């Protein structure tokens, strides 16, 4: 794959990432802090893409074997992106209706957030499959690195621009900014998608049907694959479970306004991007992927502890360094675990494993976000302090990171590959069956 095509592929990742900034970094803060909607209700809505994530395996298989006009990925990417952007762009209307007219707001919120969730799963599994289709085994590390770099950069830029555009805050400005951001995301997706995927013949597509169910059974039967799946859920639930809480915590603990809390995402993203580049360009030469994952997880856990202490002691000066440590640790953990994910594949089954690890990622985000929101509400109600609810969740996430690092010690790529049959063996198994 050429660099130009890789960048166009990255634009698809950027478009979906922009919808996440709108929902997770902007609207969730407004819903909880300004509209006084329970964090648990917000978490349920935000978690919809992850609740639907098991469908990714089916979607990936369906797109493999059911091309539309000779394209296996493009129609599914287009539909998914359109649904995700439309749902996110119109979500503020559902948020306001939910706060003022629940009878109207609840079904509207389920519809729009549901569109966003369904679109996310359609688009993500399709464009990651396209990335696998268009790149060779040697190119995949670069392909993923460029896509991730573009995604992190877009998160930073979107957070800064949206935060400034919302000042001074008003409902009309909120509606306008979300629609305009959705329009930009749609334009970027079109530039990336049109003409990107080569058209395939029916015969070529039919060949990919062989051995699919046998491959899935082989993954389930591989102990190391199951273990890595659990490890990813633990790690990512800990690191990413703060998505729906960090900005409202800044508002309630330190009185930050919409612009200031939105910029927290930019700070986190900047630290993450710095760590991503630092490890990829320099540290990876001397630090193994597994050791790098240990270091990244430890730094992120330290960040959580510092953020929790800032709330316990009411010291804002500790909050920002905690966010920076969390972002830096997340960056190292992200790049090392992405590399581990690529290692935990076989040359003939990369797309299948990307789908499996993608489901683990989505489940982890959903579990972390949902548990974080519910736990925050329960602890805040019991203690009578909203800040105590946030602090407790951050401490629990630090503990989960520690547990995931213990699990990491047992991951063995060599053992994984020795237990995973080749595609030829899988086809033979299918034939014998």
Lowest model confidence (mean pLDDT) among 166-175, 292-301, 411-420: 411-420
Judge if 222 and 173 occupy the same domain. no
Query: Do the beta carbons of residue 318 and residue 306 sit within 8 Å?
Result: yes
What band does 108 get if pLDDT is binned at 50, 70 and 90? very high
Look at 258 and 102; give whichever has higher pLDDT: 102
What band does 345 get if pLDDT is binned at 50, 70 and 90? low
Q: What is the crossing angle of helices 350-383 and 39-46, to 10°?
A: 170
Question: What is the C-alpha separation between 95 and 79, in angstroms, rounded?
Answer: 24
Judge if 140 and 202 occupy the same domain. yes
Structure token digits, residue 163 = 């935060």
Question: What is the C-alpha separation between 14 and 42, in angstroms, rounded?
Answer: 24
Judge if 236 and 135 occupy the same domain. no
Please give the pLDDT value at position 431: 38
Please give the pLDDT value at position 114: 92
Structure token digits, residue 324 = 């920076």
Please give the pLDDT value at position 427: 39
Please give the pLDDT value at position 140: 62
Please give the pLDDT value at position 419: 60
Judge if 225 and 87 occupy the same domain. no
Question: What is the C-alpha separation between 12 and 21, in angstroms, rounded?
Answer: 15
Judge if 276 and 322 occupy the same domain. yes
Please give the pLDDT value at position 178: 95
Question: What is the C-alpha separation between 418 and 376, in angstroms, rounded?
Answer: 43
Judge if 153 and 241 occupy the same domain. no
Considering 206, 231, 250, which residue would you say is the last residue of a domain? Answer: 206
Judge if 192 and 329 occupy the same domain. no
Considering 182, 206, 230, which residue would you say is the last residue of a domain? Answer: 206
Question: What is the C-alpha separation between 245 and 411, in angstroms, rounded?
Answer: 31
Q: What is the mean pLDDT of residues 133-141?
A: 67
Residue 347: pLDDT over 80? no
Q: What is the pLDDT of residues 35-69, one digit of tens each?
A: 888 888 888 888 787 777 777 767 766 777 678 88
What band does 348 get if pLDDT is binned at 50, 70 and 90? low
Q: What is the pLDDT of residues 139-160, one digit of tens each?
A: 665 677 678 788 888 988 898 8
Lowest model confidence (mean pLDDT) among 193-197, 221-225, 289-293: 221-225
Q: What is the pLDDT of residues 385-403, one digit of tens each?
A: 888 888 999 999 999 999 9
Judge if 202 and 53 occupy the same domain. yes
Judge if 56 and 169 occupy the same domain. yes
Ramachandran assignment for 197, one of left (phi > 0), alpha (psi -120 to 50 degrees), beta (any other): beta
Query: Which range among 131-145, 284-298, 328-342 has the greatest average pLDDT?
Result: 284-298
Structure token digits, residue 171 = 């409902």
Please give the pLDDT value at position 90: 95
Residue 216: pLDDT over 70? no
The domain that holds 282 is classified in CATH as 1.20.1250.20
Q: What is the pLDDT of residues 297-308, one digit of tens each?
A: 999 999 999 999
Q: In the 8-state DSSP scheme, what is residue 344?
A: S
The number of domains in the chain is: 2
Cα angle 211, 51, 408; round to 5: 70
Judge if 241 and 130 occupy the same domain. no
Please give the pLDDT value at position 423: 41
Q: What is the mean pLDDT of residues 187-197?
A: 93
What band does 208 get if pLDDT is binned at 50, 70 and 90? very low
What band does 190 get if pLDDT is binned at 50, 70 and 90? very high
Neighbours of 224 (CB within 10 A): 19
Range of the domain at 258: 210-433
Judge if 315 and 177 occupy the same domain. no
Please give the pLDDT value at position 67: 81
Judge if 140 and 191 occupy the same domain. yes
Query: Do the beta carbons of residue 261 and residue 251 sit within 8 Å?
Result: yes
Question: What is the C-alpha separation between 425 and 59, in angstroms, rounded?
Answer: 24
Considering 165, 186, 206, which residue would you say is the last residue of a domain? Answer: 206
Please give the pLDDT value at position 237: 87
């Amino acid at each position: 794959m050429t660099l130009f095509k890789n960048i166009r592929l990255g634009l698809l990742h950027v478009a979906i990432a922009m919808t996440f900034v709108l929902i997770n970094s902007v609207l969730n803060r407004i819903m909880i802090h300004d509209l006084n909607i329970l964090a648990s209700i917000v978490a349920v809505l935000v978690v919809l893409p992850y609740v639907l994530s098991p469908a990714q395996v089916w979607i990936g298989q369906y797109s493999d074997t059911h091309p539309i006009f000779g394209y296996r990925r493009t129609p599914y990417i287009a539909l998914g992106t359109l649904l995700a952007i439309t749902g996110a762009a119109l979500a503020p209307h559902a948020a306001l209706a939910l706060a003022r007219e629940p009878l109207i707001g609840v079904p509207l919120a389920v519809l729009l957030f549901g569109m966003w969730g369904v679109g996310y799963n359609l688009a993500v599994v399709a464009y990651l499959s396209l990335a696998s289709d268009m790149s060779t085994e040697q190119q995949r590390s670069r392909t993923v690195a460029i896509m991730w770099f573009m995604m992190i950069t877009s998160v930073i830029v979107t957070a800064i621009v949206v935060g400034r555009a919302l000042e001074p805050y008003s409902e009309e400005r909120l509606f306008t900014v979300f629609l305009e951001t959705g329009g930009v995301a749609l334009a970027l997706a079109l530039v990336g998608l049109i003409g990107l995927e080569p058209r395939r013949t029916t015969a070529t597509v039919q060949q990919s049907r062989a051995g699919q169910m046998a491959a899935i059974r082989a993954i389930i039967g591989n102990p190391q694959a199951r273990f890595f799946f659990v490890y990813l859920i633990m790690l990512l639930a800990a690191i990413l479970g703060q998505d729906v809480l960090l900005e409202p915590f800044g508002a309630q603990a330190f009185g930050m306004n919409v612009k200031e809390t939105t910029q927290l995402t930019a700070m986190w993203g900047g630290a993450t991007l710095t760590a991503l580049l630092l490890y990829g360009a320099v540290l990876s030469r001397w630090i193994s992927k597994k050791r790098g994952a240990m270091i990244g997880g430890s730094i992120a856990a330290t960040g959580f502890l510092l953020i929790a202490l800032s709330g316990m002691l009411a010291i804002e000066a500790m909050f920002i360094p905690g966010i920076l440590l969390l972002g830096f640790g997340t960056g190292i953990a992200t790049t090392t675990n992405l590399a581990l994910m690529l290692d935990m594949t076989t040359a003939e089954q990369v797309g299948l494993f990307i789908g499996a690890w993608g489901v683990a990622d989505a489940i982890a985000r959903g579990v972390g976000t949902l548990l974080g929101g519910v736990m925050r509400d329960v602890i805040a109600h019991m203690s009578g302090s909203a800040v105590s609810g946030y602090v407790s969740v951050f401490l629990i996430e630090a503990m989960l990171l520690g547990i995931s690092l213990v699990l990491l010690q047992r991951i063995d790529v060599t053992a994984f590959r020795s237990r995973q049959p080749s595609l030829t063996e899988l086809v033979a198994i299918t034939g014998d069956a």
